[in-house]
Amino acid sequence: MKSGRNDMSIRLVPVTRDNWLEALKLQIKEEQKDFVPGVAVSLAMVYIKPDGDQVNYLPFAIYDGNRMVGFIMHAYEEHTSDMYWINGFLIDAKDQGKGYGTTALLQMIQYIKNRFSGCKEIRLTVHKNNDNAKKLYSSLGFLDTGEIWGEEQVFKLPV
């Protein structure tokens, strides 16, 4: 398994009224705009619940020390074995390629495993043209399920 950054200052912090405005400033590279929704869209999902009332959304900012470098969200249906999703995952354009993504993803996987004992599978979707993300997910053990949702491939990580 790829180790990511060994720097212990990388941490996931819930997005709250104290840091949501900072989270909205996170930007991805122009060529990545079709790959992931902006933070505002992800935060709106928490309230709107587009996937139904049974889905809960937990948005997190990714910090390096006191500096926000990215965003990741966990969506889940409690009391299921395979409805644990990672979505809205992005690293700010100026901080990409520094290992933040790998470290944050590993932390999110561990968070889900620790919090939900019934979870047997973590899922995510990735845009069909997002080769860098597919390489990252595969390196961490995610498998392509063969499912296609529009422009997105569904990947799963057996837990």
Residue span of the structural domain in which 87 resides: 10-122
Query: Using CA atoms, how far apart are residues 112 and 117, in angstroms rounded to an integer?
Result: 8
Percent share of the chain, pLDDT over 70: 95
Query: Using CA atoms, how far apart are residues 3 and 23, in angstroms rounded to an integer?
Result: 25
Q: Residue 1: is its pLDDT beyond 90?
A: no
User: Which pairing describes strands 121-127 and 143-149: parallel, antiparallel, or unpaired?
Assistant: unpaired
Query: Using CA atoms, how far apart are residues 141 and 124, in angstroms rounded to an integer?
Result: 12
Looking at the structure of the chain, the number of domains it has is: 1
Residue 71 lies in a domain: yes
Q: Which pair of structure tokens corresponds to residue 107? A: 């932390």
Looking at the chain, list the stretches that DSSP marks H as alpha helix, in order from N- to C-terminal side.
Answer: 20-24, 39-48, 100-115, 131-139
Model pLDDT, residue 139: 96
Model confidence, pTM: 0.92
Residue 89 lies in a domain: yes
Residue 22 lies in a domain: yes
